[in-house]
A = this chain, B = another copy of it.
Amino acid sequence: MTGKTSSAGRRSDTRVSRNIKLTLEYEGTNYHGWQTQAGSGQATVQETLEKAFATLAHGPVKVHGSSRTDAGVHALAYVCNVVTDSPIPPAAWAPALNHILPEDIRVLSSGEAAPDFHARFSAIGKIYSYRILNRRAPSALHRHAAWHVNLRLNMRAMRSAAEHLIGRHDFSAFRAAGCSASSPVRTLKAVIIRKSADMIEIRLEADSFLQYMVRNITGTLVEVGLGRFQPGDVKQMLLSCDRRTAGRTAPAHGLYLVRVLYTE
């Protein structure tokens, strides 16, 4: 598959390296998150995708992800990129990969990106969504798709609390103990809380997120909704920069990476 091709002058004896951008939808239930951890022995989305890619590219590849999603977290449009000299046309990667990937990972689209595009470092923002099933009865159909909260949540209090979080802040109070980000400062651009029938969606947009930031904010907002905190307490939590002042961590299975934002 190497060698001369007559189709383009720029190809001669060498393969042409291309930067392929992929957009994925995945159900995180059966994966230990996006990122491969050496020796963990548990399947990750990255590892599963790299194996499928390597099968098609006839050699090892490195897939660059946009986000380390936690174990059990889902994605509606996860972006990653791969530099490869495979002759497979950029748009053909999506159907080819879907042919060999497990059904809980689907490639929605594939295409060629600029040589300097990097799924993580080129991102200027991300949108996450958290789903809460707020009703008495547990659910069979949403058991991996939404957090079941069986006591009635006060939507007005949750929305009022969320207002305090919007803007550029030190989010140390909502950060995981093991978070490796160099700065705890992030700009939370929007928090939208919607309810449709029994399903509550909390949608957050930020320049980027700290580890567990969405799950810690969600857990805290739920405790506000239950009356355990007042909306104004959330402002004090932010100012304290102390994780111990904020609420619990919402479970992973209600969380979705919705979109990764790029300038292009």
Contact = CB atoms under 8 A, between A and B. Distances in A.
Interface stretch (A53-61, A116-124, A138-146): A138-146
Interface residues of A, number: 21
Contact of A105 (B98, B105, B108, B140): B140
A106 B138 contact: yes
Contacts of A230: none
Number of copies: 2
Contact of A27 (B24, B103, B108, B141): B141
A58 to B, nearest CB: 25
A109 interface: yes
Contacts of A141: 25-27, 74, 76, 145
Contact of A139 (B25, B138, B143): B25
A14 to B, nearest CB: 33
A103 B140 CA distance: 6
Nearest to A74: B141
A185 B194 CA distance: 43
Contacts of A74: 141
A181 interface: no
Interface string A114-152: 000000000000000000000001111101010000000
Nearest to A23: B137
A106 B140 CA distance: 5
A25 B145 CA distance: 15
Interface in A77-124: 94, 98, 103-106, 108-109
Given A137-B25, A137-B109, A143 B98 contact: no
Contacts of A108: 137
A54 B106 CA distance: 41
25 contacts: A25-B137, A25-B139, A25-B140, A25-B141, A26-B140, A26-B141, A27-B140, A27-B141, A27-B143, A74-B141, A76-B141, A94-B137, A98-B138, A103-B140, A103-B143, A104-B140, A104-B143, A105-B140, A106-B137, A106-B138, A106-B139, A106-B140, A106-B143, A108-B137, A141-B145
